[in-house]
Amino acid sequence: MIQAQSFSNSPVKASSIIGSGVVNLNGDNLGDIKEIVIDPNTGKVAYAVVSFGGFLSMGEKLFAIPFSSFKYDPAENEYVLDISRDRMEAAPGFDADHWPSMSDEKWNRDVYKYYERTPFWE
């Protein structure tokens, strides 16, 4: 009889990630995940779009953060980002009505450089 083994890297639905909280290593709330951005050519998750700041969605700023920057904490069901609140506030962001052109290679490289990650396409 073959015994089933647990698969520790089981895929998850994007809908289960959207709405999840984001905290830093100190446990400071950095916002929540609003969107998942996928590269249609490779199928890789390029970014999680995180909302930060504002009140009742007014004045909030959005940040495209490389998905590889996050660590998932299953005990708290939240995503942990190794960044201070000050660095998060200074990160390149945008508002919900003016998304950047995600096909702009320079913009993509700048974002990945800010978070000190290797671009998803390399």
Cβ–Cβ under 8 Å, residues 114 and 92: yes
Q: What's 93's domain CATH number?
A: 2.30.30.240
The answer as to whether 122 is a domain residue is no
| Res 13: pLDDT | 86
Q: Within the chain, how many helices (H) and strands (E) appear?
A: 3, 6
pLDDT in tens, 27-37: 999 999 999 99
Q: How many CB atoms lie within 10 A of CB 117?
A: 14
The answer as to whether 9 is a domain residue is no
pLDDT greater than 80 at residue 98: yes
Domain span holding position 90: 17-114
Give me the mean pLDDT over the 58-68 stretch. 87
| C-alpha distance from residue 14 to each of 48, 88, 104, 105, 120 (Å) | 10, 23, 24, 24, 18
The answer as to whether 10 is a domain residue is no
69 backbone dihedrals φ, ψ, rounded to 5°: -75, -15
**Whole-model pTM?**
0.85
| Res 60: pLDDT | 80
pLDDT in tens, 69-88: 999 998 888 999 999 888 98
pLDDT greater than 90 at residue 21: yes
Number of domains in the chain: 1
| Res 38: pLDDT | 93
Which residue would you say has higher pLDDT here, 85 or 25? Answer: 25
Q: Which two tokens stand for residue 72?
A: 């998932």
> By mean pLDDT, which of 7-16, 18-27, 96-105 is the weakest?
7-16
The answer as to whether 39 is a domain residue is yes
